[in-house]
Each structure stands twice: as structure tokens, then as C-alpha cells.
Amino acid sequence: MRAAVEAEDEYHDDVFPGIAAPRDGSRWQAPADLEEHLYELCEADDAYTYLRAVAVEGLYRPVSFADKDSEAAAGPLLTVELPDGRKVAQVYTAGVLPRPHPAVVYEYVTLGALAEGCPDDVDFLVINAATPCEQYYLTTEDEREVWADLHRRHHRPGAGADRIETRRTGAPGPGPLLHGLACGAHLCFANGDAWNTLDWHGAGHHNEVARLAESWGVHDREGWLAMQEGLLAREVSPWYWDFVLGARTELIARRGPRVDPEQWRDGIESALRARALESGGPGTPHLPGDDPELDAFVTALRALAGKVLRYEARFRADALLPPDGLVGTVAAWDIGRASKMARWGRGARYATHAELREAVERVCAAARSAYASWPEFSAGYVLGRCLHFDEEGFGPWYTDVLHAHRVLTTDPDSPWLTVPFHDA
């Protein structure tokens, strides 16, 4: 049984890419930087450099969803037959891929894999057919040796990571959708994904399914719906992270911005013991010594306050927070991941286009209700990531996202400098 979803409004005519050149002879606006580069190489008739560029980035090949093995990326290479009987195999770069269609998925493939696996009866490989950056190649043995060599010399897994990738065409206009997409910028930057597209194919259908299964334990539509809702409700991360931060926020509201750490820890303990009493009713053990498990939890949360203080001190030293800055909530850790979870669900075909849009708009609302700016949102996300993974090691779990924060808050192409956090 297929775990994917189909909806009546998912069917459309854009099964394969089809992009016409401007009729007035003006320069074509390519969807992204790679396609702009390939367009220039087509104009220069530089087929070899074109091939080298796609060897670096990789390609996508259409596969019939009805015939696809759901457990593998493999499937017949889609071909069309020319009037003279010769066969052409079609592959595409990421920027020209159409909106997802129920009948066809796109799988990631390297030029090296095409060199090895292209069937003998295929005469040509066409890259980006029916677009202004279309290029044909013979599939002779000598030509495929060139493909394999370019792959060996230029392809590196993950080489496209840690960058801002922006679609120049086909993106939503200003509004909640664009803002909700920008909330996933940390993860888009880390993966080298286009941050502003709803036509999500990600790393290819098989890889999107595997990502959700291996990293999130999501194996089907029902699992995706539950995880998406949990992230939007901020219920995937431990509740007590924001409980600890909330105790400090309450102290600040009552006593001003300078909070003594020991008073904060005492406030955490008082609030936690009051919560235990309230949830259990009269007679519930809640005083020190009454309940060893509660006492241990109190000790852990008092220690968590110290961990937060040490992270915030490092954040200020690294200019991730202003000199007197604090993190009020780690809501962004779930909200930011919810932005990408919506897209991953679409890539795995667990979500419809309408569900993707709704989830992204809810991400926007959640972020705006919890934060006042992109840097504030980012600091909350980074603290959540560090509490989840880093254990005060200040290793790659911290340094990688610190690098993302710095680029996203300074690069002119960053969504955080082009999308207002709040509407004017």
C-alpha cells in the first residue's frame, strides 16, 4: 500500500519542465544561479563546461510513480523516441523542476551514475529539455567515459551545502507564505536548498522518504501529519526548556532585567513544585524530600539554568546575541524545523500542496507570535539546537549553525534581509 497522498487538485499539465524563451528576444530570467550559468554556457556553445557544472551539482530524472519501487531510488530511465527511431533520455537540474505531480517523481542522480547505468539503446542524453538551457549529449562509450571522469574529479557529496540558494522565478510573493519559508532558512542553508520554493523535490523522492524515516521516524502520511502538528504546536522539544526560560521571564517582569542566577533557580524550583501540587491535587508530595523523582527533576532544571547562562555568554561573545541579550524562548527550534518538515512531507508525497501551504502559513504565525526579529528568532533556534545536540561541547552542532546565523544576518541575498519579520 502506498503511503503517499493524492488529491484532485494535485493533477495539472506540468508533468515535465517546459519553459519557453522570451518571445521578444530579451534575456531569459533563469530560475536560479546554476541555470543562469548553464544558459550562458549554451550561448557560448561550451558543452564541456556545461557538463562539468552538472557533474558538480547532480541531476534529477523523472520516474513513473506507479512503476516505482518505494524502497529504492531505481526505476527505468525515462526516454522518448525520435521520429527516426533513436531514443533520448531526459534529466534536469533542480531549478527547472515543475511542481510535484501524482504520476511522476524526480530522483536525484549523479553524472557518474548516468555514465554507468545509461541503457545501451539510448542514443542521446538531454539535460533540461524544453528550456532555454537545453543541452544534448551523445551516449557513446567514449562520451560516457568523459561523464565518469568529470564525476570523479568534480562531484563531492555535500559540496552544495552551507550556502544561500534563492529561486529567482516561481517563488511566492511577499506575505505569510514567504515569511514561513524563511523560517526554515537555517536548514535550507545547511543543505544548500532553495529557501523560497513551494515546488519541493528536495534531494529527490527516495532521499526525502529516507530522510524522514531515518532522522525523524516518519514512515507514512499519518506519521508526517503527527510530526508536523507536533512541531507546529511546539511539542516535539522538551516542555521544560521553555519552562525554565519562562521562570526567568516572569522574574524580569516583576524585578527588572537584572536577574540573580540563584533567584532564577529558586523561581524554577518553586514553579515546578507548585505545578506538581496543582496537577496532583491536595496531599501530593511536592516539598523537598517528599518525592525523590521530583527532587531529581528539580536538580536537573536548576542545572539547566546554568547551562542556558553559559550558552548565552558564549552567544554574546560570538555576537549571536547583543551585549545584554537573553533568549526568551526556544520555540524557533520547533518552528524552524516545522517549516522544513512541511517541505520534506511534500517531497516524500505525504503532504498535498494545500497542506504544505497551510503548514507554512502557520509557521509564519507561530514565529511572529514568539519573536520580534530574525536575529531573535535565530538565537532561539540556535539555543534549542545546542540543548538538543551539543551538550556544551561548542563543537560543530554549535559552530555550524553559528556560521549559518552570521551569513543569514549579513548576506544581501539572505531571506532575513529581504523578508520583513513583521508586516509594516
Q: What is the mean pLDDT of residues 279-286?
A: 73
| Closest C-alpha among 230, 224, 326 to residue 3 | 224
CB–CB of 31/375 below 8 Å? no
Query: Average pLDDT of 328-351?
Result: 97
On whether the CB atoms of residues 140 and 126 are closer than 8 A, the answer is: no
Please choose, from the candidates 357, 355, 352, the residue with its C-alpha nearest in 3D space to the C-alpha of residue 100: 352
Q: Which of the four pLDDT bands, split at 50, 70 and 90, describes residue 7? A: low
Q: Which of 74-88, 372-386, 404-418 has the lowest mean pLDDT?
A: 74-88
* Domain boundaries defined on the chain: 8-154, 176-237+331-418, 239-317
What pLDDT does 73 receive?
Answer: 58
In the predicted structure, residue 309 carries a pLDDT above the cut 90:
yes
Average pLDDT, the chain: 93
Q: What is the pLDDT of residue 128?
A: 98
Q: What is the pLDDT of residue 2?
A: 47
Q: Give the C-alpha separation, 249 to 253, whole Å.
A: 6
Phi, psi of 165, deg, nearest 5? -115, 120
Q: What pLDDT shows up at residue 1?
A: 34
Element (H, E) at 39: helix 33-43
pTM of the model: 0.94
> How confident is the model over 23-35, as pLDDT tens digits?
998 999 999 999 9
> Which tens digits make up the pLDDT trace of 124-164?
999 999 999 999 999 999 999 999 999 999 999 888 899 99
What confidence category does residue 279 fall into, taking pLDDT thresholds of 50, 70 and 90?
A: confident
What is the mean predicted confidence (pLDDT) over 169-190? 97
Residues 6+ apart with CB under 8 A from 404: 162, 185, 186, 189, 190
